[in-house]
Structure 1
Amino acid sequence: MPSFPFSGIKLTAFIFALATIAFLQILDLTIANVALSTIAGNLGASTSQGTWIITSFGVANAISIPLTGWLAKRFGEVKLFLVSILLFIFSSWLCGISNSLEMLIFSRILQGAVSGPIIPLSQSLLLANSPDSKKNMSLAIWSMTIIIAPVSGPILGGWISDNFYWGWIFLLNIPIGIVVWLSARILLKGRESETNKLPIDKVGLSLLIVGIGCLQLMLDRGKELDWFNSSEIIFLTVIALVCISFLILWETTSSYPIVDLSLFKSRNFTVGTICISLAFLLHIGTLVILPQLLQRVFGYSATWAGLALAPIGLIPIILAPIIGRFASQLDMRKLVTLSFIIFALCFFWRAYTFEPNMNFASTAWPQLIQGLAIACFIMPLNIIILSDIPTNKLAAAGSLFNFFRTLATSIGTSVTNSLWERREAIHHNHLTDFMSTNVQTVETTYQQFKIQGFSATQTSAVLAEKITQQGLIISSNEIFWLYGVIFIVLIVILWFAKSTIKPKKALYPKKLI
């Protein structure tokens, strides 16, 4: 790849193109979630069957991401990136025109598989083609896509499914994707990375596909099948553990590994990957239960629930360029420490204020302040992770830590949802027992409802719903307290990383003594 970086308008256009395609790829992870019932009903499938629309994309994406480094070495980063965008556009078109559940699931598998390289390659190409003085700024602007896309997905998906044909959820990728592809093709002409016709590690590839595929399936279907009470989940877990264990052993001894595990020799890469993975697990986990809580307990529509979460993207848009401008003068560990403290305080804030009569502002304000944590989190951790990775390994490093980040997102979604529902069931039983021991209070309540024209059956249904809602609030608050504490613990792990401030070169040689 040429040594001369982009500058001026070309650099701006390049950053915008890479950020846009990264935004579309991340958007497709969440945009179909709120429209799931609409899509399933339109295709004549049950909501349970419709979950494969989400699962199929996640499984294929999780498998393809760690392959990016090896594919980039074999075919070239630019060629792989451009082909991935074209196939992403094509698979999005297939998703949009699907007239059966089977066709849509197949299209989503293809979409997930071909889009895996987009995030790590957009990151490595950005860093490789930006001048040293602009690398942090470029990364800061690019990082905003990871912030805004997960929040925009539910809002945009809900709005499209409510007002238009659901297929436009996927078809909107086509015109935007074509513009990005043309821009990237023109800008990256003659900037191909060095290639090496490496032999295919068939054993490693097979272990990766089976192991990661089974792990992702286990995470996606665990809640639906009641986790380890299901023989299917036990089977998937055993296969995943065996294959991944053998994959690690094989890749550490292979001459041409599919996944470059030698990257973990870098202390900053290892510490940063642990921190960004666990932080995403906690952040996305709570981001998943919040809209459900707002809809099930507080009666929000899907659109209003999305709007309540939207303020999280406001502060990062303002701060990201500023942080990028001064990043070379700052120790990124201090910024991430500030981020984790704010995360913890916002979680504690929610745990303290979430109650049945909570208004919209009580939801939106913590989201707005948490945006400050996001601004000091993603880009600084990216800098820590890649701080001592050589340029020729950026694609491999990007694919590996983005794989762990994506996997952590799946784990966070599954674990948080399951924990939330299990704790709700426990509190539901406790509240029910409490009512059974306070007969006089219950009888008074029934009398009050009878005066309002409710029958005994209707009153029982109302009380059961109130108990469920209270249980959901209590269990969500417990999760906020727990995750806030974990963020504080993460600060300790973070400081095992080395400082990102590079020592300044001496202007004059030291005097001889």
Structure 2
Amino acid sequence: MTDAAAAPGGIFSISGRQWLILLMVQLANMLFGMTITLANLVLPEVRGTLSATQDEISWVITLNLVATAVATPMTGWLSARLGWRSLMFSTVLGFTLASFLCGIANSLEMLILARVAQGAFGAPIMPLGQAVLLGTFPRHLHATALVMWGVGAVFGPVLGPILGSIATEAYDWRAAFFMIVPPGIATLACIWFALAEHTERRRIAFDWTGFLALSIALVAVQLICDRGQRLDWFDSAEITLYALFGAIAFWVFCVHCLTARHPFLNPRLLLDRNFSIGLALAFVMGMLSFTSLSLFPTLLHDLRGYPSDAIGLLIAARGMGNWAAFLVIVPLTRVAPRSAIAAGMALQAVSAFWMAGFDINMTEAEIFWSNMLQGFGQSITFTPMTVMAFSTLPKHQVAEGSAVFTLMRNFGSSLFISICVLVLIRSTSMNYARLTEHITPFNETLLFPGLPAQWNLETTTGLLRLSAELHRQAAMIGYINAFGLMALAAAAAVPLAALLKRPSA
């Protein structure tokens, strides 16, 4: 064996069984990642087919993420009761069936239910895959394994919009969900053989009180953010009830975790400094991961009239940034993990500030390179953040810690998407109202001879066209404000990297 093969962390020191496990986890991650970008890509077509508004169609994304966040903490218990192979097989099977149901949905309600099932079944895929890698690879190979695991996680979001846009243009948005089924079946076969030696089961108690209390609290927060704008916030009895039930449920969860002998989530995990800071970073990473994927398809489709295939290619630029980062992640994680985390967060802040500087005439090059920079920053951050978060955690707590880690990422995603959609809707309505204040017969600018003929104020058609243009410009301001919020979140997380403690070798 060569020196490179024998070197700690070298890819040639990975055994055949470990390669098979890596392939299985990558395939599962690819499936999960494909549905994230697919759903965002086809939202404009789905909204038109099912006659849904901007805030109604956002439930297709947010409730999927809520279901994922709620089901994620069960990963540790399910993996103990069912074993790694049974859990991974059943969760990918349910995920594949739910994807098929998304494709045959004929109403918004049915699509949302199928997406909730997709999120619930898909919830264990990433934390279980992460736990399998951390549990089967030695510590000196963790960085290498996580980077290679990340190839699958990145390949899905890149492949999803490319193949999804082709399927959507050739047929319709339903074909984008149907194309998940064949690779899902292939993944099932791979899981059965890769995890053949990991069928051990343990009978452990499940804390239903803690699980239900946490679930109610998470759902209440999500519903408040999603429906607050439409129902006028706390002037609505419904929103007040959500807040009351959520507060009570969270109080019960906290008290129960501190007093129960075997709580649903062990609060002692938070005593680990690196893991606690890692959770905060994971929450911010979740906020930044999928928000732009939710905003760009509707921005490009509604405001610029881009077709699905062009949108898919532009969104795929973020995956190219992820891939570019793979060239430097492993050495950066070993040599300067805290600097890598800070640099990655800073790059994401720069890319979001760049997006916040767009106007309605933004070019394809600006969209491409800003998304690519964001993807590069995300990959630079993720691997060292994950390695350092788990570096000081005992091995028997890795599965539970991985579930909590993924929970924070998913909840950060669903919550921040709702907040950004709220910012978009409020900004659009407020700026539209301000712009229309200037459309009066007394505004001499509107009498200027160079004004476009289609904006003739003396005809109904001209007024409607002018109103549509004002709404378009107001919506662009809303998107800019949402991107600015992303930039502030990324910039605020940069100092957290300095608080991480580098573990002893």
TM-score range, shorter chain: 0.7 to 0.9
Q: Using the TM superposition, give the Cα deviation of residue 436 of structure 1 relative to its aligned residue in structure 2, in angstroms.
A: 4.8
Matched, 1:468 2:471: yes
Whichever residue aligns with residue 338 of structure 2, its letter is: R
Equivalent position of 2:338 in the other structure: 333
Cα distance in 1 between the residues matched to 2:434 and 2:183: 52
The structure 1 residue matched to 2:191, chosen from 174, 184, 187, is 184
Once residues 309 and 280 of structure 1 are traced to their aligned partners in structure 2, the CA distance between those partners, rounded to angstroms, is 17
Contact persistence 1:34–1:302 (CA under 8 A)? yes
Amino acid at match of 1:425: S
Q: Which residue does the alignment assign to 2:5?
A: none
- Structure 1 residues 272 and 460: CA distance shift in structure 2, 3 A: same
**SS across alignment from 2:306:** coil
Alignment of 1:13-52 (within 5 A): 13-36=20-43, 46-47=51-52
Q: Which of 458, 462, 466 is the aligned partner of 2:461?
A: 458
Residue in 2 that maps onto 1:346? 351
Residue matched to 1:484: 487
Q: Is the 8 A contact 1:53 1:108 kept in 2?
A: yes
Cα separation, partners in 2 of 1:418 and 1:156, compared to 1, 3 Å? farther
The superposition leaves residues 453-504 of structure 1 with CA deviations (integer Å, 9 ceiling, x where unpaired) of 885333322332332233233343344344323322211223211125x34x
- Corresponding residue for 2:500? 497
Q: Is 1:207 aligned with 2:223?
A: no
Match of 2:384 among 380, 385, 392: 380
Contact 2:157 2:319 in 1 (8 A): no
Give the equivalent residue in structure 1 for 2:297. 291
Q: Alpha-carbon deviations, 1:190-240, whole Å to 9, x = none?
A: 2345x5422332322332343333334444444555554543333223212
CA drift of 1:416 comes to 0.7
Q: CA deviation at 1:348?
A: 2.5
Q: Could you tell me whether the CA contact under 8 Å between 1:215 and 1:240 is conserved in 2? A: yes
Aligned to 2:408: 404
1:510 aligned partner: none
Q: Specify which of 278, 282, 285 is matched with residue 279 of structure 1.
A: 285
Report if the CA contact (8 A) 1:22-1:119 is conserved: yes
The alignment partner of 2:290 has SS state of helix
Note the C-alpha offset of 1:363: 1.6
- Which segments of 5 or more consecutive residues in structure 2 lack a partner in the other structure? 1-11
Distance 1:438-1:344 versus aligned 2 partners, 3 A rule? farther
Q: Distance in 2 between matches of 1:40 and 1:443?
A: 37
Describe the shift of the 1:278–1:132 C-alpha distance in structure 2 as closer, same or farther (beyond 3 A): closer
Distance, in Å, in 2 between the alignment partners of 1:159 and 1:483 is 30
Change beyond 3 A, Cα 1:98–1:492: closer
Give the Å deviation of 1:396.
0.8
Q: Runs ≥4 in structure 1, deviation > 6 angstroms?
A: 99-102, 451-454
Q: Is the 8 A contact 1:78 1:192 kept in 2?
A: yes
* TM-aligned CA deviation for residue 117 of structure 1: 1.2
Name the CA distance, whole Å, in 1 between partners of 2:320 and 2:287.
22
Q: Structure 1: which amino acid aligns with 2:389?
A: I
After TM superposition, the score normalised by the length of structure 1 is 0.85
Question: How much identity, in percent, do the aligned residues show?
Answer: 26
User: Structure 1: which 5+ runs fail to align?
Assistant: 504-513
Residues paired across the two proteins, number: 492
Residue 126 (str. 1) matches residue 130 (str. 2): no
Matched, 1:261 2:263: no
AA aligned to 2:143 is: N
Residue 170 of structure 1: aligned partner: 177
Structure 1 residue 419: deviation in Å? 0.8
Report the aligned-residue RMSD.
3.2
Distance 1:287 1:53 in 2: 13
How far apart, CA to CA, are the structure 2 residues paired with 1:80 and 1:268? 29
| Secondary structure of residue in 2 paired with 1:82 | helix
After superposition, give the CA deviation of every residue in 1:326-377 in whole Å (9 maximum; x if it has no partner).
255323110011112212222222333x123322112212222223212211
Q: Relative to structure 1, is the Cα distance of residues 346 and 413 closer, same or farther in structure 2, using a 3 angstrom cutoff? A: same
| Mapped pair 1:250 → 2:256 | yes
2:318 to 301, 312, 321: 312
- Aligned-partner residue type, residue 126 of structure 1: L
Q: Show the counterpart of 1:509.
A: none
Counterpart CA distance in 2 for 1:486 and 1:32 is: 24
Q: Give 1:63's aligned amino acid.
A: V
Supply the distance in 2 between the matched residues of 1:471 and 1:99 (Cα, whole angstroms): 32
Amino acid at match of 1:371: G
For 1:499, give the aligned amino acid: R
Distance in 2 between the 1:174 and 1:292 partners? 26
Q: Does 1:235 align with 2:238?
A: no
- Secondary structure of 1:356's counterpart equals coil
Give the AA of the match of 1:358.
M
**Equivalent position amino acid for 2:463 in 1:** S
Alpha-carbon separation, structure 1, partners of 2:152 and 2:401: 19
Q: CA deviation at 1:264?
A: 1.2
Q: Aligned partners of 2:294, 2:115: CA distance in 1, in Å?
A: 21
- The equivalent residue for 1:508 is none
Q: Distance in 2 between matches of 1:103 and 1:481?
A: 34
Compared CA separation, residues 416 and 63, structure 1 to 2 (3 A): same
Cα–Cα, structure 1 residues 329 and 210, in superposed 2: closer, same or farther, change >3 Å? closer
Equivalent of residue 369 in structure 2, options 365, 371, 378: 365
Is 1:429 the counterpart of 2:433? The answer is yes
Amino acid at match of 1:73: A
Which amino acid in the other structure matches residue 277 of structure 2? V
1: CA distance, partners of 2:490 / 2:57: 34
Output one character per residue of 1:53-100: Cα deviation in whole Å (capped at 9) or x when no partner.
555534432221111122223333333223322333344444445567
Alignment check: 8 A CA contact 2:43 2:297 kept: no
Greater Cα shift, 304-313 or 165-174 = 165-174
* Deviation, structure 1 residue 440: 1.3
CA distance in 2, matches of 1:243, 1:452: 54
- Whether the aligned pair in 2 keeps the contact of 1:29 and 1:58 (CA below 8 Å) is no
Deviation at residue 415 of structure 1 after TM alignment? 0.5
Distance 2:76 2:236 in 1: 36
Query: What is the CA distance between 1:378 and its match in structure 2?
Result: 1.6
**For 1:155 and 1:459, how far apart are their aligned partners in 2?**
38
**How far does the alpha carbon of each residue in 1:274-298 deviate from its partner, in whole angstroms, 9 at most, with x for none?**
1221233145333322332222322
Tell me how far apart the structure 1 counterparts of residues 468 and 110 of structure 2 sit (CA, whole Å). 39
The 8 Å contact of residues 154 and 306 in structure 1, kept in 2 or not, is answered as yes
Question: What's 1:85 paired with?
Answer: 92
Query: Aligned in 2, Cα 1:60/1:438: closer, same or farther, shift over 3 Å?
Result: same
**Which AA in structure 2 matches 1:370?**
Q
